[in-house]
Amino acid sequence: MAFEVPRSPVAQLTQRQRLSLSLSYLVIAVGLLAGINQRDSALNLASVYANDEAGITAVHPARWLLEETGDFVFRVRDMSYRGFNTQIEVSTVAVGADNSARNVFDQLSLARAQSLIDYHVLGYDEYVLPDESSASSMAYSFVARDASPFLQGISSVVSGLDILIVRRGQAVIVSFRSDSRIYEREVSTLRWFIENLEF
Amino acid sequence: MRSTRAVTISPEPDEFAVLPVWQRIALQLGILSVITLAIVLASELLGLQFGGTVRRVLSLALVPLPLLLWLLLSALPEDRFARPRRRLVGVAILSGLCASAFGLPLVDDFFQIGQWLPLESVIQRIVGYTVTVGVVDVGIKFLVLRFMVLPQDLRARSDVVAYAMAAAVGYSFYINLVSIWRLDPVWELAAIVVLSNIVIQFASSMAMTLGIVASYFANAFPSVLPLSLVVAALSTGLIAPQVPGLTSGPLGTAGNITRPLYGIVFLLAVLLLSLAGTYFLYRNAERRQREITLGRGDGNGL
């Protein structure tokens, strides 16, 4: 049985009600701040990768998948993205005194042209490292299909950037690949990765 | 010899001046649950499946169902009563617009929950959903109620329930529309998505209702209202991550097998618990208030 009254009994707010409203706004604001904190700590959480054999220490996003099996030292991939997973791959090659950066890039391009669809080199440039030393870079693109033939997805255009750092007769190649639609947003992760890379 | 006479206790005139809310809410949620259950059973037991455009049309047709039930059973009959709640439709529309303008952009683009929440542990997911989706949803609905109806349009406790339900229906309508449009799920999963969104919004709205009622009608301690908002956000955090986990089966060699019956059983249990729990607490608070008032000898019952 309803228990109703004919007019608003709360037209005038009491001191308690005013205080409860203020506290409610505060709770909502604190809740949003907690959400921002939770998001930032999850998205920016980093893990350290160290490989004594290759002499490489790197910091990568903790939520990215780390792989060490393959023709690279290690690779990390952002598995949360539904299309082509953004990835950073680190590999090493020995370079001779007469080996130029262009030779290394050409070898990479020859190998990739065999395995990647519509592989194109977009250009070569100089990349300034955080310690002001210079490295070489090569930008390229290719088309990636879904790994599973049962998924009827549309192919993605992938943009890539190789950064070649030569030190003490060893070249470290940092390969960054991302869906071209989110490349500009994701490339900040590469800069952060390079800043924390030690070898 | 003492003479006796029969005394007829007539109901208070005000009982019929406003539309009773609880029966109407229970009826519309009951109808929605039965329809969802029927769709799931038809798909599971009879193998009823649709493809292509027919599936999309049928899935999208489920989106306005909660809104239509609410309009037919709650909003439109208000005009037949002496003291209608005139801002019900306004609250529903504004809640839907706020979900579109603030709610979904905050959750998807600002908090980017798809990027990190599904990868977290169970506890982290509950906390994460509470402080992101829960706080955003509850905050928006509370602010809509605060600036549309609180306190000037509150004449009785049932008004808070009716307006909170309007906010839940309006808010979930937009979330349902976007979810079904983007995901394009099979018909049975579309029915579960619609039911889950309305259950999530209903549960949080009802938790919020208890706080508003206690604060505005019983002049409760100032921490009661904000605490109810925390409970409301927590209810979203508890329910929202469970539904996809229960509905999607384990990943096997044959692919991912959906288990819609698990999802719907969970949703019906949550719905029953939240409806019965809120009703019990609401009636209990009302009874205690009446006893206090009668003890004071105040005739109007408050």
What per-residue confidence (pLDDT) applies to B7? Answer: 39
Residues of B in contact with A14 (CB under 8 A): 219
Q: Which CATH number fits domain A46-195: 3.40.50.1000, 3.40.50.720, 3.40.140.10, 3.40.1000.10?
A: 3.40.1000.10
Indicate the residue of A5, A21, A32 with minimum beta-carbon distance to B300: A5
Residue B10 pLDDT exceeds 50: no
CB-based burial label for A56 (10 Å; 0-12, 13-18, 19+): middle
Nearest chain A Cα distance for residue B93, angstroms: 22
For residue B296, is pLDDT > 70? no
Q: Which of B17, B127, B216 sits opposite A10 (nearest CB)?
A: B216
The residue in chain B having the minimum alpha-carbon distance to the alpha carbon of residue A150 is: B255
Percent of chain B with pLDDT strictly greater than 90:
60
pLDDT tier for residue B299 given thresholds of 50, 70 and 90? very low
Measured distance CA(B247)–CA(B286) in Å, rounded: 38
In a domain, B45, yes or no: yes
Residue B79 has pLDDT above 90, yes or no: no
Looking at residue A3, its pLDDT comes to 47
Preferred mutation among B115, B125, B141 to probe A, highest tally of A CBs within 10 A: B115
Alpha-carbon span B238 to B221, nearest angstrom: 26
Question: Is residue B156 in some structural domain?
Answer: yes
* Domain annotation covers residue B173: yes
Distance from CA of A42 to the nearest CA of B (A): 6
Residue B68 has pLDDT above 90, yes or no: yes
Partner residue opposite B225 with nearest CB, options A4, A24, A63: A24
In a domain, B15, yes or no: no
What digits encode the pLDDT tens for the residues A73-100? Answer: 999 998 877 788 999 999 988 877 667 7
User: Across chain B, what does the average pLDDT equal?
Assistant: 87
User: Do A174 and A190 contact (CB within 8 A), yes or no?
Assistant: yes
> B11 and A1: CB-CB below 8 Å?
yes
DSSP state for residue B48 in the 8-state scheme: -
Structure confidence at residue B287 as a pLDDT band (50, 70, 90): confident
Query: For chain B, what is the domain count?
Result: 1
What would the pLDDT profile of A155-165 be if each residue is shown by its tens digit?
889 999 999 99
Cβ-defined contact of A8 to B135 (cutoff 8 Å): no
What's the rounded Cα separation, in Å, for the pair A191 and A147? 28
B131 inside domain:
yes
Q: Is residue B11 part of a domain?
A: no
ipTM reported for the complex, 2 dp: 0.86
Residue B76 structural domain: 20-294
Residue B302 lies in a domain: no
pLDDT digits (tens, 9 = 90+) for B191-206: 999 999 999 999 999 9
Is A11's CB within 8 Å of B216's CB? no
Answer whether residue B73 shows pLDDT above 50. Answer: yes
